[in-house]
């Protein structure tokens, strides 16, 4: 079972992979209820940690723009606007 790795040593990507693994274990097995609950709790803690890390990363993102004087300056990045510029999965198909 996952969860033996320290949260700080775990990369975001590895955390997502572990979360997917937990979900697959829960969906594809006939585990006893107690074991399913342990997996659920582990997955919930991991998901909360990953969400916290994601929010922190969003807060640190900045964009470089020219100010009114034409000089570059760092301004907070509008993550939602940036995401809307990415191609959707339907566009890639």
**Amino acid 82: pLDDT:** 60
Number of Cβ atoms within 10 Å of the Cβ of 66: 9
**Amino acid 43: pLDDT:** 96
Q: What whole-number distance in Å separates Cα of residue 18 and Cα of residue 42?
A: 10
Q: What whole-number distance in Å separates Cα of residue 81 and Cα of residue 14?
A: 27
- Whole-model pTM above 0.85? no
Contacts (Cβ under 8 Å, ≥6 apart) of 2:
18, 21, 22, 42, 46
Q: List the domain boundaries for the chain.
A: 12-92
Q: How do the pLDDT tens digits run along the chain, 93 residues long?
A: 444 555 557 899 999 999 999 999 999 878 899 999 999 999 999 999 999 998 888 777 777 778 888 888 887 776 666 666 556 666 555
């Amino acid at each position: 079972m996952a969860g033996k790795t320290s949260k700080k040593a775990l990369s975001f990507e590895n955390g997502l992979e572990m979360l997917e693994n937990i979900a697959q274990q829960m969906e594809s097995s006939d585990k006893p209820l107690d074991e399913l609950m342990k997996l659920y709790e582990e997955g919930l803690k991991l998901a909360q940690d990953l969400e916290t890390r994601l929010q922190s990363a969003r807060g640190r993102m900045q964009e470089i723009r020219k100010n009114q004087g034409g000089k570059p300056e760092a301004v907070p990045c509008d993550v939602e606007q940036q995401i809307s510029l990415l191609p959707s999965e339907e566009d890639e198909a």
